[in-house]
Amino acid sequence: MAGITNAAYRRLCREQGAGLYVCEMITSRGLVEGDATTKAMLVFDELEDVRSVQLYGTDPAYVGKATEILCTEYGVAHVDLNFGCPVPKVTRKGGGAALPWKRNLLGEILTAAVSAGERHGVPVTMKTRLGIDADHLTYLDAGRIAEESGAAAIALHGRTAIQGYSGTAAWEPIGELVSRVSIPVLGNGDIWEAADALRMVEQTGAAGVVVGRGCLGRPWLFRDLAAAFSGAAETTLPRLGEVATMMYRHAELLSQHMGEERGCKEFRKHVSWYLKGFGAGGDLRHRLALVSTLAELESLLGELDPDEPFPAVVLGAPRGRQGSERKRVVLPEGWLDDTDGSGLSLFEDADEVSGG
């Protein structure tokens, strides 16, 4: 998630529980051409011993070279290819969730990345969606191609590109993909609580889950997930005082990585996610959303009621962007005319940072 899964937040989540925490999405072209924005996003915490990066690309040569750079210059231990982004500025160029429609191009990109990764013992995985829309599904072919190309795993988000983040994710196709391929399939979509992850794995046979919006304002979700998958039935329901401590720790880590002024400014967008459902008044929320120093933040957090229980009403409730289903997916002209794409030349912006 652009602007969310930076080094500070990955460190915070890692302090809560086991898991693989993936860097914000970067573009292959941006990395190969030395784009400043791209390089600035490739920052890792000093304790981040397993470096994982999500890579976006539409050109096999660029993706292969970018994977090589990540392995040799950044010490990355895992590369995840993003073929799930539904944002119009990405799909209109044939990228993200649009790209798997071109089966051969998808295979060329995967092969280039896997080959580069194999030279350094670095696994390559891919993330995708069900397809462009209900009439143009791609997930079964994408799974087959991922397996044939040597990908280590495939993560499937149970929505199409046209759905964006609206409605409810379909988990049945995840189970269908599990039955069709021999590589691990990870389920993605509507994992809001640890219980959701257990249900998904039970219903689909997925090897694990991928969490996106579910961790917004909930870094302790990974503690819950680790406990749930180890057999513990308890769920963390922190009181507001514990949430406040987590909020300060988050801002502190951001300040360590970005400097205090910039770190506190970056933290502001997280305030509403952390406080969702709690009784903190509008004035206090507003002041927290304008915080500029750690001292100011500490003072404002002290105004919260530390004993206020976690609002059970928000359990299982969506967090982050939702919106409504789009009328159409913006695609390159003639994109749906064939499913080949071999040798197709597509342009990607060097500083594209949208997730998916």
C-alpha to C-alpha distance for 271 and 283, rounded to whole angstroms: 13
85 is catalytic: yes
Sheet holding 185-188, edge to edge: 22-27, 52-56, 78-83, 124-129, 153-157, 185-188, 208-210
Do 304 and 244 form a contact (C-beta atoms < 8 A)?
Answer: yes
Alpha-carbon span 196 to 202, nearest angstrom = 10
Handedness of CA 339, 344, 346, 350 (dihedral sign): positive
Q: Which helix (H) or strand (E) holds 324?
A: none
Entry field: residues in the chain: 356
**Helix (H, G, I), strand (E, B), or coil: what is residue 186?**
strand
Name every residue whose Cβ is closer than 8 Å to that of residue 242 and which is 6 or more positions away in sequence.
none
Determine which one of 13, 85, 215, 264 is catalytic.
Answer: 85
* Helical segments of the chain, H only: 7-14, 28-32, 36-41, 60-73, 88-91, 103-118, 139-149, 172-180, 194-204, 221-229, 240-258, 260-267, 271-274, 282-288, 294-301
Contact status, residue 202 vs residue 271, Cβ threshold 8 Å = no
The residues annotated as belonging to the active site are 85
